[in-house]
Structure 1
């Protein structure tokens, strides 16, 4: 009989305190941990669902397959509800609260993803609009952490240190994925938040709010990149609050855009669209044409996933118009990534979404746009390059050019092996499924198996 715990764990908290279990946790012996869970009546299917693994992966681990990668160990610990400290893993303040404090009934650990999405949208609306327009809850989903003493006084030099650290860590994320820098982002953030209690001028405080918003946004993004949804949501929520305190409408739009992208990744276009539309209000208020263009492009992507070609073309038209009138020298730093090459990539992503419904019409358009985007990527944007190569390859196959799809797809796998991101195997799933459709083509069958093997290895 299963012993589902009251804090969202598969088992009651006492199970983690057993001598054998504590030893297995200390040794990070995932095989023994899973075997002990099986003895408590937890099925392989339940373990797989909690940890984000396939049942075949869980079976292999039960047979002795080792799990060594830090980010995977952290994901397993979080999924099972194990205090990270029991496995010698670092955790941010949000996780520390979950590990050390008893959560009351109705706490975030017990809520399903639908409730959490609704509460985040409520919070986002309350912050962005100045009042809650979607419900009465105010941030119950958000985790909190204790604050430490602050320096007595700070100036712009201290703020610039935060900005420099954020830029360096964001470059690592773009280049190699969130797994290379997330813990460093959280550690820097814990230091930076101390400065909130220091004396400073109003100008310094305003820039501090901006810098903390940006760093929380990066913490949220890297958490999402590693499949850690609850910490991601908490960091994005705090980023939104700091951006609003700083009266920085463009940064508010930035945070809402990133959280919307999280929901797009998890195939929730309706929720994503609501966040993009909130972000569009902030973007319009900011006066930044490039920010408006980013929001329009992402709204188009959501409409593409909803198979709304009429709205897609409207949003793409607005995206091009706003992009054309943007002055890159005057735009906020966060949005300057959206250059002409990224415009092609976003347009390709929108057509890729529509190609799932009408491949004969939209797959060739997706190929054309992603091809232009892929020609521009360097080593500083490896993760985005993997995503776009996978998308291009998928649409080559949808267009009937299977061999070219395989060629480009192999490039995606080769580059994907260098990127530490939980999103890589997820984003290559359509490529695997499309290749598997070509059952009469032995090269396509072999490639589909190659992608499957790659994805499973990267998911463990």
Structure 2
């Protein structure tokens, strides 16, 4: 006789209180969970109905024909069956099920976090990379929200192909290389809106897989697939270095940058080396060493023929202009800015390097604001600042932290102390929400000239929030 829903729930509660069920949960043995439930009358059909997982798939889990690994699968089972906290913890899940959104994403003032495993992140990055720049930001956020509910369906097919390449890397083919290229592009897109801690493990796992495949191949200048994989390794390594810096691990960042440069030299790809210099330039810049930052950017510009990557050339020249302006070198700043504008005018994101996708009009204009505010073009900087703020999407919090810092600096130069403090406080809030500790020193620099007006309410509020943010980052494990 089939149990009614009330009886099913009572049975589930009783079975999950059993010690043998706790033991199989600790082993993450989903087949064992299904078998014990079946022993007490809970059918595979009922499990499928409660969890949303196809009954055929439930049967495969029970017999061991299919072994689940995705965290999203365990979340679906735990949520659907109403597992108690101790069972969820035994499975390695948070004790309280559910999320703020129906699809598994949490929103924190526009910053999206996902509760998922590294394989989910890799599949998400691959899907995002395959869509390219045609993917709108709203669609990207929707994909992030759905990742936990959908990636397990595609996992086995992709994993079987990748596993074969990992065990027999000499047999790599076009499909595997394209998947790795798409992942690299996707991780660069995800970095724009996700915190460093959210994507680092997935990116590191992706790099390990690429390295394993490469280690099994024979160096051959004529092997185009191998060359493309080395480029993937370089592009992914520069991003990993940047994220490691954001997480506060300078040594790890240097190691990733060194790996990227080694790969770039092997395939004669100077764009990758130029990118490492650009990322590295932010570290001395944040500490006020603008001369060191400009030297790195100058070296990068010398390495990079503009025709090789107009997007990279535009970014490097804009950064060079920004650092020159910070050094008070107006002539060089304006000359570099003209170079940046020329390269930006011919940039095609679809055809350019993956790391240049962040450089849209808003981000480019933020470089202009930072440069103009320091070379005396205050009116232009102010007008542009208002335009950027007006069109900046609410969800774009990581970018908001950078742009708000630039605009606050422009207001300080103009003597608009209250406005500068309000904008800096909003930017600081975005830094916390996105866990972007790498931008915190920028707000410490902004604080210095404001301290003389510490008695003004807006300034005092910003300084207090800055102190609180520094304590928060200092106490959190990064």
User: TM-score over 0.5 for the alignment?
Assistant: yes
Shift of 1:175: 1.0
Residue number in structure 2 paired with 1:252? 273
Asked if 1:198 is matched to 2:219, the reply is no
Structure 2: which 5+ residue stretches go unaligned? 1-165
Q: Paired residue for 1:159, among 163, 177, 187?
A: 177
Asked if 1:438 is matched to 2:459, the reply is no
Q: Paired residue for 2:202, among 184, 202, 207?
A: 184
429 and 249 in structure 1: CA distance in 2 versus 1, 3 angstrom threshold: same
CA distance in 1, matches of 2:382, 2:248: 28
User: 3-state SS of the aligned residue for 1:323?
Assistant: helix
Shift of 1:344: 0.8
Structure 1: which 5+ residue stretches go unaligned? 1-147, 356-360
Once structures 1 and 2 are overlaid, which stretch shifts more, 164-173 or 190-199? 164-173
Residue number in structure 2 paired with 1:276? 297
The CA deviation string for residues 263-321 of structure 1, in whole angstroms up to 9 with x for no partner, is 32333333322322222133216533333222211211221232211111111122122
181 and 203 in structure 1: CA distance in 2 versus 1, 3 angstrom threshold: same
User: 3-state SS of the aligned residue for 2:229?
Assistant: helix
CA distance in 2, matches of 1:247, 1:286: 15
Residue number in structure 1 paired with 2:429? 414
Contact 2:428–2:440 (Cα < 8 Å) also in 1:
no
CA distance in 2, matches of 1:414, 1:295: 28
Once structures 1 and 2 are overlaid, which stretch shifts more, 336-345 or 224-233? 336-345
334 and 417 in structure 1: CA distance in 2 versus 1, 3 angstrom threshold: closer
The CA deviation string for residues 426-453 of structure 1, in whole angstroms up to 9 with x for no partner, is 2221333343221442342233223322
Residue number in structure 2 paired with 1:31? none
CA distance in 1, matches of 2:394, 2:262: 34
The CA deviation string for residues 235-260 of structure 1, in whole angstroms up to 9 with x for no partner, is 11211221232233333322222222
Structure 2 counterparts to residues 45-444 of structure 1, below 5 A: 151-199=169-217, 202-284=223-305, 286-351=307-372, 354=374, 361=376, 365-378=380-393, 381-444=396-459
Residue number in structure 2 paired with 1:27? none
Contact 2:185–2:354 (Cα < 8 Å) also in 1:
no
Shift of 1:214: 0.7
Contact 1:351–1:363 (Cα < 8 Å) also in 2:
yes
The CA deviation string for residues 34-77 of structure 1, in whole angstroms up to 9 with x for no partner, is xxxxxxxxxxxxxxxxxxxxxxxxxxxxxxxxxxxxxxxxxxxx
Shift of 1:420: 1.5
CA distance in 1, matches of 2:249, 2:436: 11
The CA deviation string for residues 1-31 of structure 1, in whole angstroms up to 9 with x for no partner, is xxxxxxxxxxxxxxxxxxxxxxxxxxxxxxx
CA distance in 2, matches of 1:447, 1:259: 28
Normalised TM-score (structure 1): 0.60
252 and 413 in structure 1: CA distance in 2 versus 1, 3 angstrom threshold: closer
409 and 305 in structure 1: CA distance in 2 versus 1, 3 angstrom threshold: closer
The CA deviation string for residues 149-197 of structure 1, in whole angstroms up to 9 with x for no partner, is 7634212222233233333433332213322222332232122201112
How many corresponding residue pairs? 307
